[in-house]
Amino acid sequence: MMKGHIFMRRFSLGCLIALLMVSIPVLAEAPIHITADLTEAPRKLWHAEITLPVQPGPLTLTAAKWIPGTHMSSGPIDDITGIVFRANGKTLSWRRDDVDLYAFHVMVPEGVSTLDVHVDAIVTSRVSDKLAMLEWEKVLVYPAETPVRNIEIQPSIKVPEGWGVGTALTPTGTEGSTTHFAPVSLEMLEDSPILTGKYFKEIPLAPDVTPKHYLDVAGDAAEDINLRPQFLAALNNLVHEASAMYSSHHYNSYHFLLTLSDYAGGEGLEHHQSSDNGVDENGFADDQHALIEADLLCHEFTHSWNGKYRRPAGLATPDYATPMKGELLWVYEGMTQYLGNVLAARSGFRTPEQYREALAFSAAQLDNRPGRIWRNTEDTAIAASILRGDNPAWSNWRRGQDYYQEGELLWLDVDTTIRQLTHNKKSLHDFLVLFVGKGGNTGPMVVPYTFDDLVMLLNQVVPNDWANFLHERITSLSPHADLAGIEHGGYKLVYTDKPTSYERALLSRRGGYDGWFSAGLRVGRDGSIVDVRVNSAADQAKLFPGERIIAVNGRVFSPESFGDALKETKGSSAPVHVVVQSDTYVYSLDIEYHDGEKYPRLERVEGTPALLDDIIKPMTNVQPIPTEKKS
């Protein structure tokens, strides 16, 4: 919003914090009450009873549309069903708004001061037979056209008997399987999901750190929630490392909410005082799974500072009807991607070598991203809400949410540049102290920022032409990625014929064969082509996503036979001969590729300062990570 822009330019950060703090107190009106009934959660049918203070006359209630953290209008209005409005025991008629389908119009009769709303919700995500994550937008309607910060609401939740409850909300009492919580603003309610589960436990973390941190975990089976000691050691380290890195907290307590389920779906959604993290049942149960998921909790935790407390002005909207503007997501998500991975290494979720392997894979992906020649990184951020689909076909040409990984390389470049300009006396940490630590410790609140604010703070750390530095990296059209941070870090991106342990872990989860960096295609277990890299040998052979390779060099397709065929191309002039099925037709064709298998990794450039190694050194006395397998 324009007003927000002018507001930000005129006032210093200190002023802004003071102004925002005075705007937080909620209306003096009686609060709305909501009781979410999850007793039928496993049946995917949730219910809520909402009681609102009202006045006679026309009233518009709305469901949430733009959900913070999802960067899109993802509010599940299509799943809100069975809605009934009642006053003084009588059912009122309602009409949906013709244009805004999230809005319900009702006429409140004379003499009525309380409106009762019943909501049913069909919920098929973040729920399994034994656990559920209550995200309030699934069951909530509230007065439209009122800043959500100014709506006070008193929440309760009813869960299946014996299920545990974990949340950043403050419990005030229980009645049977219903838990009541202290009133909060609607903004904080939407920001405070509740994890409930039959197999549930809450584990206090880092007892020496204030405010308090907890892991609330639920799984599909009793044994799932016995997390490995190496996971718990790394998570305790993470609390210490993040406290040191960000020099502040902006929550009263923090809850890592974690589901371990093959049915409840993957998730990573940030909140001020908690995060919603979802992995497979075995997501942290063995080394290979844990390697893939290593940065999840680090990333979502970092968002409490970068994304929730400091938020791009275009994403700091007053309600969930106002469209969000994603232009600075390369900071919100990109810097978080960088910091989350750095914290994963500092805390021991990944070894230094695994950190470099993951970074190499990410950098190589971007360095082989043909869509970079027509769509710049800033556009992937502006268009974020239409890039959240997961169809991989030709996604290297369309580009996806590349602002995450592009942002990671960009902020690595910023970090190493600060270190170089200051002869290693300063780093991105000095910027973070100003950016997320300014204002000291606070409760949950939003302090918006603009591009110009970032430039100003970077210049406070070390004078440089930061405006051009950032602008060029987010707007340039180049077939190649910005690898300067890796190079300043004392490493270079190379390709060898052996996949790293990180890439092997990725492949074992996905199955199939990864010929992306060699012939230019990814294939599934059954030979289905997932994607073809534009301008690669596979592209020149006219292969395309959705076709299925059924034979290679005279052998029936398997990931092994295809891998053997690519291996044999090294130094050979013979093409790879494939038979492909497209719909009901079969063709044979040749891939003119002659350079063997290729997998990315980072190689040390001897004689240069190893800044990348310095960056992932812990700032605190971290606990060593135990190596035994299972507790």
Q: Tell me which residues touch Zn ion (CB under 5 A).
A: 333
Least distance from Zn ion to the Cβ atom of residue 336, Å: 5
Beta-sheet pairing, 576-582 with 548-552: antiparallel
98 CB-near residues (< 8 Å, 6+ apart): none
Nearest to 377 by CA among 346, 349, 400: 400
Least distance from Zn ion to the Cβ atom of residue 375, Å: 21
| CB nearer Zn ion, residue 306 or residue 450 | 306
Least distance from Zn ion to the Cβ atom of residue 297, Å: 12
| CB nearer Zn ion, residue 333 or residue 597 | 333
Q: Which tokens in the block code for residue 571?
A: 């130094």
Least distance from Zn ion to the Cβ atom of residue 384, Å: 11
Which 3-state string (H, E, C) describes 370-414? Answer: HHHHCCCHHHHHHCHHHCCCCCCCCHHHHCCCCHHHHHHHHHHHH
Between the alpha carbon of residue 412 and those of residues 365, 381, 484, 492, the distances in Å are 16, 18, 8, 14
Least distance from Zn ion to the Cβ atom of residue 401, Å: 10
| CB nearer Zn ion, residue 233 or residue 381 | 381
Q: Which tokens in the block code for residue 135?
A: 């995200």
Least distance from Zn ion to the Cβ atom of residue 269, Å: 8
- Residue whose structure tokens are 């920001």: 191
| CB nearer Zn ion, residue 325 or residue 419 | 325
182/169 Cα distance (integer angstroms)? 7
Q: 53: buried, middle or exposed (CB in 10 Å: 19+, 13-18, 0-12)?
A: middle
Least distance from Zn ion to the Cβ atom of residue 502, Å: 20
Least distance from Zn ion to the Cβ atom of residue 212, Å: 24
Least distance from Zn ion to the Cβ atom of residue 304, Å: 11
| CB nearer Zn ion, residue 293 or residue 333 | 333
Q: Which tokens in the block code for residue 319?
A: 């309600």
The CB density around residue 560, as the number of other CB atoms within 10 Å, is: 10
For residue 211, whether the previous peptide bond is cis, meaning omega lies within 30 degrees of 0, is: yes
Nearest to 521 by CA among 395, 436, 407, 358: 395
Distance of CA 118 to the CA centre of its chain: 32
If you count DSSP H runs as helices and E runs as strands, how many of each does the chain have, helices first?
20, 32
Least distance from Zn ion to the Cβ atom of residue 331, Å: 11
614/488 Cα distance (integer angstroms)? 12
51/601 Cα distance (integer angstroms)? 58
- Residue whose structure tokens are 């909402």: 50
Least distance from Zn ion to the Cβ atom of residue 214, Å: 21
Between the alpha carbon of residue 240 and those of residues 191, 237, 257, 590, the distances in Å are 24, 5, 18, 55
Is residue 503 a contact partner of residue 361, using CB atoms and an 8 Å limit? yes
Is residue 592 a contact partner of residue 540, using CB atoms and an 8 Å limit? yes
| CB nearer Zn ion, residue 333 or residue 514 | 333
Is residue 453 a contact partner of residue 8, using CB atoms and an 8 Å limit? yes
| CB nearer Zn ion, residue 59 or residue 454 | 454
- Residue whose structure tokens are 């609607």: 186
Q: Which tokens in the block code for residue 595?
A: 């350079």
The CB density around residue 625, as the number of other CB atoms within 10 Å, is: 18
Least distance from Zn ion to the Cβ atom of residue 227, Å: 22
575/403 Cα distance (integer angstroms)? 37
Between the alpha carbon of residue 472 and those of residues 419, 456, 466, 481, the distances in Å are 20, 17, 10, 12
| CB nearer Zn ion, residue 34 or residue 343 | 343
382/384 Cα distance (integer angstroms)? 6
Least distance from Zn ion to the Cβ atom of residue 303, Å: 6
| CB nearer Zn ion, residue 332 or residue 397 | 332
382/209 Cα distance (integer angstroms)? 38
| CB nearer Zn ion, residue 77 or residue 297 | 297
**DSSP structural state of residue 88:** T
Residue nearest to Zn ion (CB): 333
| CB nearer Zn ion, residue 307 or residue 444 | 307
| CB nearer Zn ion, residue 333 or residue 406 | 333
| CB nearer Zn ion, residue 190 or residue 333 | 333
Least distance from Zn ion to the Cβ atom of residue 328, Å: 13
Beta-sheet pairing, 212-219 with 267-270: unpaired
| CB nearer Zn ion, residue 333 or residue 531 | 333
Nearest to 258 by CA among 300, 212, 222: 300
| CB nearer Zn ion, residue 267 or residue 531 | 267
Least distance from Zn ion to the Cβ atom of residue 404, Å: 7
